[in-house]
Amino acid sequence: QVQLQESGPGLVRPTETLSLTCTVSGGSLSDHYWGWIRQPPGKGLEWIGYIYYNGSPNYNRSLKSRATISVDTSKNRFSLELTSVTAADTAVYYCARERGSGWSFDYWGQGTLVTVSS
């Protein structure tokens, strides 16, 4: 059974960089896309971007090039960096696996709340 687990600071100061890691267990990164989705408190879901196991990311252009997703196959994990954060970036951040067909996400992490505040 594939499991995903997000990790990273729960509090980030405005203008700094948010950094999260998603560790995958029970399966390898191979042959899948791996993504990040966020959800502001009480609001809907926003796709941040995803990356194929061997590279080639795609991002939501609404983030204005602030997001970088990378993959480390040797450690079976992938990461998100979001620069120049503001309070609007406060959200629960989820990592997820694209199912391999259909371009939808079949395995999700439990989510981690990141608050941007001074």
Partner 1 sequence: DVQMTQSPSSVSASVGDRVTITCRASQGIGNWLAWYQQKPGKAPKLLIYTASSLQTGVPSRFRGSGSGTDFTLTISSLQPEDFATYYCQQANSFPYTFGQGTKLEIK
Positions in the binding site for partner 1 (CB under 8 A)? 37, 44-47, 49, 58-62, 94, 96, 99, 101-106, 108-111
Nearer Cβ to partner 1 (15/78): 78
Q: State the amino acid at position 78 in one-letter form.
A: F
Q: Give the whole-angstrom CA distance, residue 59 versus residue 106.
A: 19
Smallest separation, CB 42 to partner 1 (Å): 11
Smallest separation, CB 4 to partner 1 (Å): 9
Nearer Cβ to partner 1 (16/108): 108
Q: Give the whole-angstrom CA distance, residue 83 versus residue 68.
A: 9
Nearer Cβ to partner 1 (55/74): 55
Q: Residue 8: which residues within 8 A CB-CB, separation 6 or more? A: 18, 19, 20, 21, 112, 114
Smallest separation, CB 67 to partner 1 (Å): 11
Three-state DSSP state, 69: strand
Smallest separation, CB 35 to partner 1 (Å): 8
Three-state DSSP state, 63: helix
Which helix (H) or strand (E) segment is 26 a member of?
none
Nearer Cβ to partner 1 (29/109): 109
